[in-house]
Amino acid sequence: MKKTVSGMMFCGALLMVGTTALADDATTTGTVKFTTSTDKDGQIAKPEVPGEIIEPEGGKQTSGDLRIQFVPDFNFGTNEIEVGQQVFNPILQKYTFEDAAKPGDHYMPQFIQVTDVRGKKQGWKLTVSASTFKTTEVAGAYDELPYAKISLKQAKLSNDVYDTTEISSKVRTFGDTGVLEIPTDAGQSKLVMQTKTDDAASTTDGSRTSIVLDNGYDKTRDYLATDKNQQVTLTKTNKDIPVVGDSGQAKEYTSIITWTLTDGI
């Protein structure tokens, strides 16, 4: 009889637990706001190495929330005049690391970098044009190479947030369709790279997008100062007639290359 009573009391205890009411939930919020950065210049990162800040020699950049972070100069060196067409390659891009633990000069193929921190999830487009190669004007006189052209043959695309597959789905480059011969005709320009759409599907907002002008670029390679970029060329045609100074010294010809970054496509 005691066993029976004990069992009934236990069942009653279980029933009481099962009918206990739960307390109400309480909800709170987490909030955050964003504004555009006060730093309109930013820093140049080594392509394919996010966070590795470098300082390239020469070149140019622009300021703003959408900016050209870096575009290069091309130095084709001093060359001997020969009969007929001549093709030259530029020396590599010299740079230093911001990190003091990596001292000295370093070299790599030329590259182009665009930073987008607009906070708009919109597209952009980068184009290029150039002027005719000319000597410095003296007393209104100068010499030129009217047919000489710079050509960019390859473009290795990368981004410091998106992997290769992801950024390739967002951005197209001239390398997708062939060689880019930089036009020297007034008013003419050609596409370097652009987002594939003008909306969130192709946005690169909050990142840097780069193309290295050599598909064989290796971020771990220790390039030499004497190396040249075989994927960038200057072609002097057989109709271009360079001149030298009165004493036979070399004369420098310069082309002004204009890179234009447009908000939207």
Query: Does the pTM exceed 0.75?
Result: yes
**What is d(CA 182, CA 192) in angstroms, rounded to the nearest whole number?**
10
In degrees and rounded to multiples of 5, residue 160 shows phi and psi of: -85, 5
Rg (CA), the chain: 30
Query: In the structure, what pLDDT confidence band is assigned to residue 19 with cuts at 50, 70 and 90?
Result: low
Does the structure show a pLDDT above 70 at 18? no
Residue-level pLDDT at 14: 47
* 245 burial via Cβ count (<10 Å: 0-12, 13-18, 19+): exposed
**Residue whose pair of structure tokens reads 């970054």 in the numeric block:** 261
Q: What is the mean pLDDT of the chain?
A: 92
Residue 264 corresponds to which tokens in the numbers above?
């939207």
| Domain layout of the chain by residue ranges | 42-263
Residue 48 to residue 212: CA distance in whole angstroms: 10
Query: From CA 145, how far away is CA 136, in angstroms rounded?
Result: 13
The residue behind tokens 């005049």 is: 81
pLDDT of residue 3: 30
Q: Provide the pLDDT confidence category of residue 20 given band limits of 50, 70 and 90.
A: low
DSSP string, 115-152: EE--SS---EEEEEEEPPEEPPPBTTB--EETT-EEEE
> Residue 226 burial (CB < 10 Å; 0-12/13-18/19+)?
exposed
CB 183 within 8 A of CB 129: yes
pLDDT at residue 5, as a whole number: 36
What's the pLDDT at 8? 46
* 139, amino acid identity: A
Task: Give residue-wise pLDDT tens across range 32-48.
Answer: 999 999 999 999 999 99
* Among the ranges given (94-98, 183-187, 204-208, 228-232), the one the predictor scored with the smallest mean pLDDT: 183-187
Which letter does DSSP use for residue 154 in this model? -
